[in-house]
């Protein structure tokens, strides 16, 4: 029964739907309202996930072209990939820590001032997996492993949204929704840098386009054109033979590159549509839970929740973070240490979010510099994380977002210092 429950709660769309259902029932809404609100919440998240799948598929075709064209080899950060590897060995421990961690999060929200319910289920799974791997690598097992792991995960689920909330209020202009994504430390640093460098800088959303370039105010068009240039460079560098035999299934490599860029833009467009639908349903439904079960609590949602508020900052942040990742990669090459290749997936989602956070405090300069620093952070932290992951440290992938690096490095070194 526990496994079935955890399987259900590990599906983010279902978790969101359950939260909406409970909130609407607590408010004693009519049956049609409960049904509509629950389904729309699930639908919004499924749409968001569908956009993310399209976007990730496009990025997965980009990385091989870069590696082939420029000869880069190394470790590629990818949360999904390393979690899939880890669950083969640590699946049971991860599931229990995840489930109890969610209970700890609710208890913290109920009885402390950290009134945030972390609803990004897949990131809860990733964090539970990493914590389990590090604890097991340091000799923990049984009850001690489950208790300590659950407390760590549950506390992080309440603490990280609280750290991000001051900037979230600036981004959204309200205090109804919180931020739930384990890259928070990088985003908060981006916002802090925005304060330092962005005095007098206009928002990315106030960029003045010449009349001939007004069409670039359409985010989808701007993203498609920008990514089209980047994909063309990658395809030309990789060569027609590689692209057409390994990636495109025989389709002309130039056409393939352009279609991938347009697919990327389509993915972003779908994500934005899903976020709008999700917010329209989950926030009102969540108020019912807040009023009855966990007074004054806020739902902490995945990073694309901020994308509609600064759509220019999304693409600026992604590009700046990616450039930071490339610079960091060359630094690691010069140091003759493990090379972290710029993973397009973390650099898009984390870089875009860092751009939005930097823009909120420092306009265009904040978005550019803050996201660039985020790119450096998610390049150097994975190098320091690898030694504390035990057997997972020998994989060709690792956790990519900032919080995983900070938490993993601190936890692993504290355990080595003090023992279990």
Q: Which pair of tokens denotes residue 59?
A: 């990025």
Instruction: Inform me whether the pLDDT recorded for 15 exceeds 80.
Output: no
Domain boundaries, the chain: 2-418
The predicted-structure confidence for 28-75, as pLDDT tens digits, reads as follows 888 888 898 888 888 887 887 788 788 777 777 877 887 788 776 677
Q: What whole-number distance in Å separates Cα of residue 101 and Cα of residue 146? A: 9
Instruction: Inform me whether the pLDDT recorded for 119 exceeds 90.
Output: no
Instruction: Inform me whether the pLDDT recorded for 340 exceeds 80.
Output: yes
340 forms beta bridges with 75
Residue 7's pLDDT band, with cuts at 50, 70 and 90, is low
Q: How many CB atoms lie within 10 A of CB 353?
A: 33
E strand or H helix at 106, and its extent?
A: helix 79-111
Q: What whole-number distance in Å separates Cα of residue 46 and Cα of residue 19? A: 15
The predicted-structure confidence for 153-193, as pLDDT tens digits, reads as follows 999 999 999 999 999 999 999 888 899 999 999 999 999 99
Q: Which pair of tokens denotes residue 338?
A: 């493990």
Q: Please, are residues 286 and 19 in contact by the beta-carbon 8 Å criterion? A: yes
The full DSSP string for 116-157 is: EEE--HHHHHHHHHHHHHHHHHTT--HHHHHHHHHHHHHHHH
3-state DSSP call for residue 55? helix
Q: Please, are residues 164 and 331 in contact by the beta-carbon 8 Å criterion? A: no
Whole-model pTM: value is: 0.80
Termini Cα distance of the chain? 31
- 12-26, 90-104, 185-199 — which is least confidently predicted? 12-26
For the segment 240-269, the average pLDDT, to the nearest whole number, is 88
Burial of 397 (C-beta count, 10 Å sphere; 0-12/13-18/19+):
buried
Q: Please, are residues 68 and 242 in contact by the beta-carbon 8 Å criterion? A: yes
Q: Please, are residues 364 and 320 in contact by the beta-carbon 8 Å criterion? A: no
For 248-330, where are the E strands, in sequence order?
298-301
Tally of CA atoms within 13 A in the half-sphere of 291 that contains its CB = 13
Q: What whole-number distance in Å separates Cα of residue 402 and Cα of residue 404? A: 5
DSSP assigned state of 174: S
Q: What percent of the chain has pLDDT over 90?
A: 34
For 276-331, where are the E strands, in sequence order?
298-301
Q: What whole-number distance in Å separates Cα of residue 348 and Cα of residue 355? A: 10
Residue 311's pLDDT band, with cuts at 50, 70 and 90, is confident
What is the structure's pLDDT at 29? Answer: 84
Instruction: Inform me whether the pLDDT recorded for 216 exceeds 60.
Output: no
What is the structure's pLDDT at 182? Answer: 95
- CA 259 from centroid of its chain's CA atoms: 25
More confident residue, 186 or 103: 186
298 forms beta bridges with 116
Q: What whole-number distance in Å separates Cα of residue 374 and Cα of residue 189? A: 8
3-state DSSP call for residue 201? coil
């Amino acid at each position: 029964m526990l496994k079935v429950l955890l399987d259900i709660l590990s599906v983010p769309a279902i978790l969101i739907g359950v939260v909406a259902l409970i909130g609407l029932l607590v408010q004693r809404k009519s049956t049609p309202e409960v049904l509509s609100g629950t389904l729309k919440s699930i639908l919004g998240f499924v749409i968001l996930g569908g956009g993310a799948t399209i976007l990730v598929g496009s990025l997965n075709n980009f990385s091989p072209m870069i590696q082939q064209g420029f000869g880069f080899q190394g470790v590629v950060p990818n949360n999904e990939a390393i979690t899939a590897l880890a669950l083969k060995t640590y699946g049971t421990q991860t599931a229990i820590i995840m489930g109890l961690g969610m209970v700890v999060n609710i208890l913290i929200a109920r009885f402390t001032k950290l009134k945030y319910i972390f609803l990004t289920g897949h990131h809860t799974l990733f964090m539970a997996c990493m914590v389990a791997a590090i604890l097991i690598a340091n000799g923990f097992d049984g009850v001690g492993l489950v208790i300590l792991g659950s407390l760590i995960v549950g506390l992080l689920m309440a603490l990280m949204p609280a750290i991000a909330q001051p900037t979230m209020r600036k981004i959204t202009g309200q205090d109804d929704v919180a931020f739930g994504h384990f890259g928070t430390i990088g985003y908060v640093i981006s916002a802090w840098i925005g304060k330092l460098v962005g005095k007098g800088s206009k928002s990315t959303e106030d960029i003045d386009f010449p009349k001939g370039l007004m069409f670039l105010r359409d985010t989808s068009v701007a993203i498609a054109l920008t990514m089209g240039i980047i994909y063309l460079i990658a395809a030309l560098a990789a060569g027609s033979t590689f692209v057409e035999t390994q990636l495109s299934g025989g389709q002309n490599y130039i056409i393939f590159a352009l279609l991938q860029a347009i697919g990327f833009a389509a993915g972003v467009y779908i994500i934005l549509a899903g976020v709008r639908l999700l917010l329209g349903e989950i926030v009102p439904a969540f108020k019912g839970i807040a009023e009855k079960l966990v007074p004054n609590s806020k739902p902490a949602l995945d990073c694309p929740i901020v994308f509609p508020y600064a759509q220019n900052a999304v693409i600026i942040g992604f590009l700046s973070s990616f450039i930071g990742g490339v610079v960091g990669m060359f630094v690691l090459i010069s140091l003759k240490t493990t090379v972290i290749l710029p993973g397009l997936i973390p650099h898009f989602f984390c870089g875009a979010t860092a751009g939005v956070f930097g823009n909120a405090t420092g306009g265009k300069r904040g978005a550019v510099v803050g996201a660039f620093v985020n790119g450096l952070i998610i390049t150097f932290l994975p190098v320091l994380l690898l030694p504390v992951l035990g057997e997972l440290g020998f994989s060709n992938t690792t956790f990519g977002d900032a919080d995983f690096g900070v938490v993993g490095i601190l936890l692993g070194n504290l355990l080595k210092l003090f023992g279990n």
